[in-house]
Amino acid sequence: MSPKSADPARVPAWAVLAIVAGGAATVLTAGAAVVAAYMSRAIVTPSLPEDDVRILGVSRDAASGVDVVMLTVTADSILPGNYSLRFSGDTGHARMGDVLTVTDGVVRRILISVDYGDLNAAKAGRISGWFYIHPRELGVPVDEVEVFTPVGPAPAWYVPAVDPASTKWVVQVHGRGVRRGETIRSVPVFREHGYHSLLVSYRNDGEAPRSSDGKYALGDTEWQDIDAALTYAVDHGATDIVLMGWSMGGAIALQAMGRAVHRDRIRAIALDSPAIDWLDILRYQGRVRHVPELVGDAAFATISHAWGKPVTGQDQPVDLERLDFVKRSDEVNVPILLMHSDDDGYVPSAGSHKLAEARPDLVTFVPFQVARHTKLWNYDRARWNAAIGDWLSANGL
């Protein structure tokens, strides 16, 4: 039996994956096949990040008179800068400032605010770069609008430019496992340079409608919703559009560059911690989780072939080759700003380095260190804003 002759609807997950592994001159054990099946489903199934830091309490610092939150030491909890603390399964939200002390495995940070939820009762949370809850916190006018995507109307925030006659727009595309609020941080610098901002949602992100299968396609279908956002911008007067993609939103933006109906209006793309090469990212994630390479490769094959549908539930396979902009670097046709930390910890920066090396004529690479995934603004706000502002000015945008 081969993948071509098998009826996918009748092949169990372990058997499908055994067939794949057989192409590598071995057959996965049933246990390894189960791991591969779990991994393949996890890659395409929307979910919130897990709470990964313990919350040890809240107190008042007698010396400084500020409120303090105490956390266990993790790579994220000790980062300098301002961050959100999303706690109790994303039912609570607080904002934290600088680290005061790190002693005996306990991090003490300035507690700026508790926006909702009971932090005193919270046991665990996660550190997020998604700092603001709503654009109105920036003191700018905001309209709630809808973008009519192929899967239905998707909510978006529209922040007008200072000059209402401006025809420059930026469309902000958030990353995996978060929502459009992630991109609020970018509004001030683009508004300073004359841009209207459209902060969008897209299929399966928890705000926009679900696709028919409810699965991520890592950018391979989500770009259609960004195409709809481009249409919205053009219909409202946009002639020059910058796309900005964060993490998986970077992969989505790059797909829109070559596939959108209004791709001729895209003048440039800015990327924060982007997904440039999904195979590299997924293999990195597999190594972090100690998944054998063969098992990981079986999972990647499963999401990228039609016979994997019984395992993953995808309507269509993901074309990982089409999503690889290291290999497709010759197709880049607009200026790109790449901002990525070599200490990202989630999406390795190798793809960004390789794309910058392949296209120095169009790609401006601003590397960071220490900062973690999509936390560049939080770690060094001044440098992040300057990188965008300088790039816009240098390219006449």
Give per-residue pLDDT as tens, 212-249: 999 999 999 999 999 999 999 999 999 999 999 999 99
User: Looking at residue 21, what is its pLDDT?
Assistant: 43
Q: Report CA-CA distances (Å) from 377 to 24, 213, 341, 370.
A: 43, 34, 11, 12
Note the pTM of the prediction, 2 decimals.
0.92
pLDDT at residue 3 in the model = 38
Task: Give the CA diameter of the chain.
Answer: 73
User: What's the CATH class of domain 135-277+323-394?
Assistant: alpha beta
In this structure, whether the domain defined by 53-128 belongs to CATH 3.40.1000 is answered with no
Q: Which residues of the chain have pLDDT under 70?
A: 1-28, 30
**pLDDT at position 28:** 59
Are 69 and 109 in contact by the 8 Å Cβ rule? The answer is yes
Sheet holding 152-159, edge to edge: 143-149, 152-159, 196-200, 168-173, 240-246, 266-272, 336-341, 363-368
- According to the model, what pLDDT value does residue 61 have? 85
According to the model, what pLDDT value does residue 64 have?
A: 82
Residue position matching structure tokens 């400032």: 97
* Alpha-carbon distances of 300 from 4, 14, 174, 277, 305, rounded to whole Å: 18, 14, 23, 13, 9
Angle at CA of residue 268, ends 181 and 216, nearest 5°: 45
Q: What is the domain partition of the chain in residue ranges? A: 1-44+278-315, 53-128, 135-277+323-394
The pLDDT of residue 33: 76
pLDDT at residue 20, as a whole number: 46
| CA separation for the pair 203, 219 (Å, rounded) | 10
CA neighbor of 296 nearest in space, from 43, 45, 23, 22: 43
Q: Which tokens go with 388?
A: 């965008």
